[in-house]
Amino acid sequence: MKNIKISGLSKILLLITGLLFVGALFVPMWQIQLEAPQYPEGLVLRLHANKIGGDVEIINGLNHYIGMATLHTENFIEFKVLPYVFGAFALISILLIFVAKRKAVLAFLITYVLFIVLAAIDFYRWNYEYGHNLDPNAAIRVPGMAYQPPLIGYKQLLNFGAYSIPDTGGWMLTAAGFLLFLVVLKEYKFNKNK
């Protein structure tokens, strides 16, 4: 019971999971699309593992009207830590192929899910911070109005519609979690060596 080795298929899935973690380093994880009458072409904020990308300069320029703080990659410790976290996840996925213990895979899955929950809380916290902590001398002040973008989904913020959804990297991370879950499911439910 203790020493059940995972199957070959699971190892392949783990390899793919590792590659997905590596891949997620190079593409944006999350995007907040903004649309307004004046921006028929749309604006987009892209959150990479290591930086804020997209039309960040233009968005910073616009945010001064409502007194929102400007966004700068260097102000977020997350962008320094996340690349290492993903690197570690990738390494663990590969190591698990050699360790090949299903318990270890389960432990990793739980860790990963915990990480996702923490990341979501962190993302919400920043959204709240930027959306509420406004300069009281801003040109546009709408009583009771906050500009917190949605954690996920759509929300109207004055003339801007904000649409917050995963980007390529986000989908890769989702896929990685799903694959880990599959491995666990396979090893615990469908393993003949039980």
Partner 1 sequence: MKNKFVKAIFAIALGSALFTSCKPKNSGDAVSGDAAQKAYVGPGKYDEFYNFVSGGFSGQLSVYGLPSGRLFRVIPVFSVDPEKGWGYSEETKPMLNTSNGFVPWDDLHHTEMSQTNGEVDGRWVFGNANNTPRIARIDLKTFKTAEIIELPNSGGNHSSPFITENTEYVVAGTRFSVPPDYENGDVAINTYKENFKGHISFVKVGKEGEMDLAFQIVTPGVNFDLSHAGKGKSHGWFFFSCYNTEQANTLLEVNASQRDKDFIMAVNWKKAEEYIKAGKGKKQSVKYVHNKWNEKTHTATSEMKNEVLVLDAAALKDICYMIPCPKSPHGCDVDPTGEYIVGSGKLAALIPVFSFDKLMGAIKNKKFDGEYGGIPVVKYEAALHGEVQKPGLGPLHTEFDGKGNAYTTFFVSSEVVKWDIKSLKVLDRVPTYYSVGHLCIPGGDSKKPFGKYLIAYNKITKDRYLPTGPELAQSAQIYDISGDKMKLILDFPTIGEPHYAQAAPAELIRNNGQLKFYKIADNNHPFVAKGEKEAKVVRKGNRVDVWMTSIRSHFAPDNIEGVKVGDEVYFHVTNLEQDWDVPHGFAIKGADNGELLIMPGETATLKWIPKKAGIWPMYCTDFCSALHQEMQGYVRVSPAGSNVPITYSLGTNLPKATK
Q: In the complex, what is the shortest distance from the CB of residue 40 to partner 1, in angstroms, rounded to a whole number?
A: 9
Strand ranges for the chain from DSSP E: 30-36, 39-47, 52-54, 153-157, 160-166
Q: In the complex, what is the shortest distance from the CB of residue 147 to partner 1, in angstroms, rounded to a whole number?
A: 16
**Two tokens at 157?**
């913020």
Choose between 22 and 58: whose C-beta lies nearer to partner 1.
58
Choose between 22 and 138: whose C-beta lies nearer to partner 1.
138
Residue from 116, 140, 145, 151 in contact with partner 1 (CB under 8 A):
140
Could you say whether residue 139 binds partner 1 (CB under 8 A)?
A: yes
Task: State which of positions 63-92 bind partner 1 (CB under 8 A).
Answer: 65
Q: In the complex, what is the shortest distance from the CB of residue 148 to partner 1, in angstroms, rounded to a whole number?
A: 22
Residues in the chain: 194
Helix (H, G, I), strand (E, B) or coil at 76: coil
Residue from 8, 61, 142, 153 in contact with partner 1 (CB under 8 A):
61
Q: Binding segment for partner 1 among 2-10, 50-58, 79-87, 109-117 (CB under 8 A)?
A: 50-58
State the residues that interact with partner 1 by CB under 8 A. 41, 55, 57-58, 61, 65, 139-140
